[in-house]
Structure 1
Amino acid sequence: MAAAGDGRTAAASGPEALLSLSRQVDASLVQLFLELEQLEGKRVALNARVEEGWFSLSKTRYAMGAKSVGPLQYSSSMAPCFRVRTSEPEPGRPEFEVVFSEPGSPQEAPAADAHGVSDSGEPEPASPVLRRRPQPGASPPQPGASPPQPAPPPAAVAPAPERDPLTWFGILVPQSLRQAQGSFRAALLLAGEIAALQSRIEWGRARVQGLLREKRKLLEQLQAA
């Protein structure tokens, strides 16, 4: 009697499991289609922002001259204004986010110079022992006395790179150049959203395929029973 009851319970749980799998497949497919629609819209918006940026940049070159807006005006020291932050909320599902790096962040801090500077302005090689000049009126060191300890050199502060690339092209730049910068920044943010969305779509496709395999195996088991 117990064996017959267990068989009826297994037979009853089979259709319930099949119904649950079917609902999961439907929900995953709907979510996948919504994300594909969002991806298409963001791609169209990205192309529009890039076109706006190039058009505004062309207007700036026409107003200022082609030689005034080009690689020759780039600064010798550059720092990224945007960074890509990665995370993995679920195994096999990476997420990407483009964030604006604030000025003075630890990633942007310039490295301290470890070399001294001579009187002539030429950098001296780093040495464990630094020369110490005698002060006027100071008595000479007595024989057998311990030599004075060298004072630690002050930390050299390197000039911070320009944060705003618009300053490379002058102080008063045309409004079209600011519009080009805004368009390209918006395009960068959209590119990060597109990368994150593509990652979710790939993960959703793999999930749907896995659920369909489970559903196929369950159907075969029910048909065999």
Structure 2
Amino acid sequence: MAAAGGGESAVASEAGALRALSTQLDATLVQLLVELEQLEGKRVALNARVEEGWFSLSKTRYAMGAKAVSPLQYSSSMTPFFRVCTSEPEPGRPEFEVIFTGTGSPKDGRPQESQGVSDYGEPESESQSPVLRRRPQPQGSPLQPTPPTPAAATSPERDPLTWFGILVPQSLRQAQGSFRAALLVAGEIAALQSRIEWGRAQIQALLQEKQKLLDQLKVA
């Protein structure tokens, strides 16, 4: 009788574990389906942003000329405005995040050189007007504009839009914004794909564990 009671308790314990495992499996599967739907939406958004960027860039080349908007205008020294950060909250589950590291926000296309400069080249405080000042000139001498330093003219951190001129068409700014948005969406897609692969691996592991419990219940 004691052996029978022990066997029944073991079966009940395995049945409870099976129910808990099935619940976890269902929740993981639902989460996977939600992430797959999100991935499809992100891919559509990415394609739309890229198409918008190329369309705006085509409008700019039509307005300024093909030679005025080409790789020939690229700066000789560049620094990326975006970087990809990776983390691993759980073993085998990498996460990706695209971070904007340039001046201003991704929606702000103003170059860094637009910040104010004081009399002796020091940055102005926020209370001062963001205009360029000149050194005091001797009385009677004509005012001479201060030429930009070579370092400022070729700064790799300046807005890439300045490669194509000072007053660029609005379509070029729109193209820049579209491609920046596409980069951020691409980072979200990479993170979603990583979570989906991890979710698929979890479902496979849970299915194997569930099959083992079913086999044990059949033997019992």
Moved over 3 A (4+): 1-5
**How many equivalent residue pairs?**
172
Q: 2:180 aligns with which of 185, 189, 209?
A: 185
Q: For residues 58-94 of structure 1, what are the alpha-carbon distances to aligned partners after superposition, in whole Å with 9 as ceiling and x for unaligned? A: 0000000000000110001100000000000000000
1:174 matched residue in structure 2: 169
2:195 matched residue in structure 1: 200
1:25 matched residue in structure 2: 25
1:219 matched residue in structure 2: 214
Please report how far the alpha carbon of residue 2 of structure 1 lies from its aligned counterpart in structure 2 after TM superposition: 4.5
Q: For residues 93-133 of structure 1, what are the alpha-carbon distances to aligned partners after superposition, in whole Å with 9 as ceiling and x for unaligned? A: 00000001145xxxxxxxxxxxxxxxxxxxxxxxxxxxxxx
- Larger Cα-atom Rg: 1
TM-score normalised to structure 1 length: 0.73
2:5 matched residue in structure 1: 5
Q: Does the residue aligned with 1:33 lie in a helix, a strand or coil?
A: helix
Of residues 159-168 and 172-181 in structure 1, the stretch that sits farther from structure 2 once superposed is: 159-168
Please report how far the alpha carbon of residue 15 of structure 1 lies from its aligned counterpart in structure 2 after TM superposition: 1.0
Please report how far the alpha carbon of residue 5 of structure 1 lies from its aligned counterpart in structure 2 after TM superposition: 3.3
How far, CA to CA, are the matches of 2:25 and 2:157 in structure 1? 52
One-letter code aligned to 2:100: F
Q: Does the residue aligned with 1:77 lie in a helix, a strand or coil?
A: coil
Please report how far the alpha carbon of residue 7 of structure 1 lies from its aligned counterpart in structure 2 after TM superposition: 1.9
Please report how far the alpha carbon of residue 164 of structure 1 lies from its aligned counterpart in structure 2 after TM superposition: 0.9
How far, CA to CA, are the matches of 2:79 and 2:183 in structure 1? 16
One-letter code aligned to 2:58: S
Instruction: State whether residues 84 and 99 of structure 1, in contact with CA within 8 Å, keep that contact through their aligned partners in structure 2.
Output: yes
How far, CA to CA, are the matches of 1:220 and 1:23 in structure 2? 18
Of residues 88-97 and 9-18 in structure 1, the stretch that sits farther from structure 2 once superposed is: 9-18
How far, CA to CA, are the matches of 1:54 and 1:27 in structure 2? 41
Q: For residues 197-216 of structure 1, what are the alpha-carbon distances to aligned partners after superposition, in whole Å with 9 as ceiling and x for unaligned? A: 00000000000010000001
2:126 matched residue in structure 1: none
One-letter code aligned to 2:186: A
How far, CA to CA, are the matches of 2:15 and 2:90 in structure 1? 30
1:58 matched residue in structure 2: 58
Q: Between the two proteins, what is the percent identity of the paired residues?
A: 80
How far, CA to CA, are the matches of 2:176 and 2:31 in structure 1? 34
Instruction: State whether residues 81 and 163 of structure 1, in contact with CA within 8 Å, keep that contact through their aligned partners in structure 2.
Output: no
TM-score normalised to structure 2 length: 0.75
Of residues 162-171 and 69-78 in structure 1, the stretch that sits farther from structure 2 once superposed is: 162-171
How far, CA to CA, are the matches of 1:64 and 1:56 in structure 2? 12
Please report how far the alpha carbon of residue 12 of structure 1 lies from its aligned counterpart in structure 2 after TM superposition: 1.0
Matches within 5 A, 1:30-109: 30-103=30-103
Unaligned runs of 5+ in 2: 104-150
One-letter code aligned to 1:8: E
